[in-house]
């Protein structure tokens, strides 16, 4: 046998047994690294399934309280809350109403599991506006950056008063992190942190989420969310947010942007989160429902890939189930 047929280097030695593979595994996936995004809807008596996201519900305030207790018991460490109001208007008034559904839900969740979970909330107007955009509009229908910032500042203070640990600005307005930091500090909420959705792309994979929040959006968000062709810009956005006071930054979506996630991880020192979004969830669920892929290994491989690319924290609709699987 020549040396060509007898390899000297044999990478397979480190793959021989489960114990060996465990010993040399580079990437960890732990329940504490997972955050569950959750929806709470005003004016429903029972939780309402979201058809495009099998297994995910719009919660009532009551069912939300029960679900966060389960989440805490599963060992995950955070939830990201989204509110769906009964009435929407041009300014998204429900977002800044202390009695609005999201703010009430924040207080509920903090009271229920505030010691065990980091309570985060989406800080954006799109669930609250009748036009469905993330900001307020000018007369001629454009999203008005600086007027929107004022709304975000107010929204941050109301969420902080409700007890939120981290606000999650996701509207991609320029300067939003600085304005929110300043508003929080000015209102005596210096301890409330900011998880900035820094590199957020105008993605086709948000489709199911639009059903989840009963979105009224027509058109798209391309004048504020990033162009999928731009990677450098994602890094620049993350750096800008850190300069403005972000405690953590996020890349979103995750799977189609793993390169951006890696690049951001390499240049920042704050924790980096990635959001495994609704469309990414729905694709796996749909394929699994058809018997085309093996669901549980596909979930774990998906989440592991996001960790391997550099995410410290993964937001995923599978958080509780995955925590139980890897427990």
The dihedrals phi and psi of 84, each to the nearest 5 degrees, come to -120, 110
Q: Which of 42, 57, 108, 126 binds ligand PBG (CB under 6 A)?
A: 126
Shortest CB 15 distance to ligand PBG, Å: 35
With CA atoms as reference, report the closest residue to 202 among 179, 182, 228.
228
Among the residue ranges 18-26, 41-49, 119-127, 140-148, the one whose residues contact ligand PBG (CB under 6 A): 119-127
Q: What is the DSSP letter of 285?
A: H
How many residues at the interface with ligand PBG, by CB under 6 A? 10
Q: Is there a catalytic annotation at residue 77?
A: no
Q: Which is nearer to ligand PBG, 185 or 208 (CB)?
A: 208
Shortest CB 7 distance to ligand PBG, Å: 45
- d(C-alpha 122, C-alpha 102), whole Å: 9
Q: Which is nearer to ligand PBG, 124 or 322 (CB)?
A: 124
Cis omega before residue 81 (within 30°)?
no
Shortest CB 213 distance to ligand PBG, Å: 7
Q: Which is nearer to ligand PBG, 53 or 107 (CB)?
A: 53
122 is a site residue for ligand PBG (CB under 6 A): yes
Shortest CB 316 distance to ligand PBG, Å: 9
Q: Which of 128, 152, 206, 224 binds ligand PBG (CB under 6 A)?
A: 206
Is residue 194 within 8 Å of residue 181, measured between CB atoms? yes
Among the residue ranges 8-16, 40-48, 120-128, 297-305, the one whose residues contact ligand PBG (CB under 6 A): 120-128
CA torsion 279→280→283→284, rounded to 10°?
-150
- d(C-alpha 281, C-alpha 180), whole Å: 30
Q: Which of 64, 91, 124, 157 binds ligand PBG (CB under 6 A)?
A: 124
Tokens standing for residue 62: 């009551």
DSSP 301-327: HHHHHHHHHT-SEEEETTHHHHHHHH-
Chain centroid to CA 219: how far?
A: 22
Shortest CB 170 distance to ligand PBG, Å: 4
277 is a site residue for ligand PBG (CB under 6 A): yes
Q: Which is nearer to ligand PBG, 209 or 318 (CB)?
A: 209
Q: Which of 145, 159, 170, 198 binds ligand PBG (CB under 6 A)?
A: 170
- d(C-alpha 197, C-alpha 122), whole Å: 10
- d(C-alpha 149, C-alpha 180), whole Å: 8
Q: Which of 39, 201, 209, 257 binds ligand PBG (CB under 6 A)?
A: 209
Q: Which is nearer to ligand PBG, 47 or 168 (CB)?
A: 168
Of the listed 48, 66, 88, 200, which one is catalytic?
200
Is residue 56 within 8 Å of residue 50, measured between CB atoms? yes
Q: Which is nearer to ligand PBG, 122 or 165 (CB)?
A: 122
**Which residues, 46 to 85, sit near ligand PBG by CB under 6 A?**
none
- d(C-alpha 132, C-alpha 1), whole Å: 70
Q: Is there a catalytic annotation at residue 200?
A: yes
Is residue 147 within 8 Å of residue 175, measured between CB atoms? no
Is residue 32 within 8 Å of residue 97, measured between CB atoms? no
Under the rule (CB under 6 A), what is the footprint of ligand PBG?
Answer: 122, 124, 126, 134, 170, 206, 209, 221, 277-278
Task: Cite the active site residues.
Answer: 200, 252
């Amino acid at each position: 046998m020549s040396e060509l047929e007898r390899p000297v280097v044999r990478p397979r030695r480190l793959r021989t047994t489960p114990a060996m593979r465990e010993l040399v595994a580079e990437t960890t996936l732990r329940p504490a690294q997972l955050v569950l995004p959750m929806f709470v809807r005003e004016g429903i008596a029972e939780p309402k399934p979201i058809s495009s996201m099998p297994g995910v519900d719009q919660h009532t305030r009551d069912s939300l309280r029960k679900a966060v207790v389960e989440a805490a018991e599963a060992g995950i460490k955070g939830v990201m809350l989204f509110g769906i109001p009964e009435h929407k208007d041009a300014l998204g008034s429900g977002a800044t109403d202390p009695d609005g559904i999201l703010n009430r839900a924040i207080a509920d969740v903090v009271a229920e599991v505030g010691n065990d979970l980091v309570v985060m909330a989406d800080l954006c107007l799109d669930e609250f506006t009748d036009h469905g955009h993330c900001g307020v509009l000018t007369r001629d229908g454009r999203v008005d950056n600086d007027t929107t910032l004022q709304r975000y500042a107010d929204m941050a203070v109301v969420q902080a008063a409700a007890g939120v640990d981290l606000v999650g600005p996701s509207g991609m307005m320029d300067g939003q992190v600085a304005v929110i930091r300043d508003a929080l500090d000015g209102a005596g909420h210096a301890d409330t942190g900011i998880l900035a959705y820094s590199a957020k792309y105008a993605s086709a994979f948000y489709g199911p989420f639009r059903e989840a929040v009963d979105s009224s959006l027509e058109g798209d968000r391309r004048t504020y969310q990033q162009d999928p062709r731009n990677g450098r810009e994602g890094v620049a956005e993350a750096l800008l947010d850190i300069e403005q006071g972000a405690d953590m930054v996020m890349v979103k979506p995750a799977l189609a942007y793993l390169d951006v996630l890696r690049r951001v991880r390499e240049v920042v020192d704050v924790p980096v989160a990635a959001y495994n979004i609704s469309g990414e969830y729905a694709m796996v669920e749909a394929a699994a429902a058809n018997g085309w892929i093996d669901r549980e290994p596909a979930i774990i491989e998906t989440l592991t890939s996001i960790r391997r690319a550099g995410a410290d924290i993964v937001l995923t609709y599978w958080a509780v189930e995955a925590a139980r699987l890897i427990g």
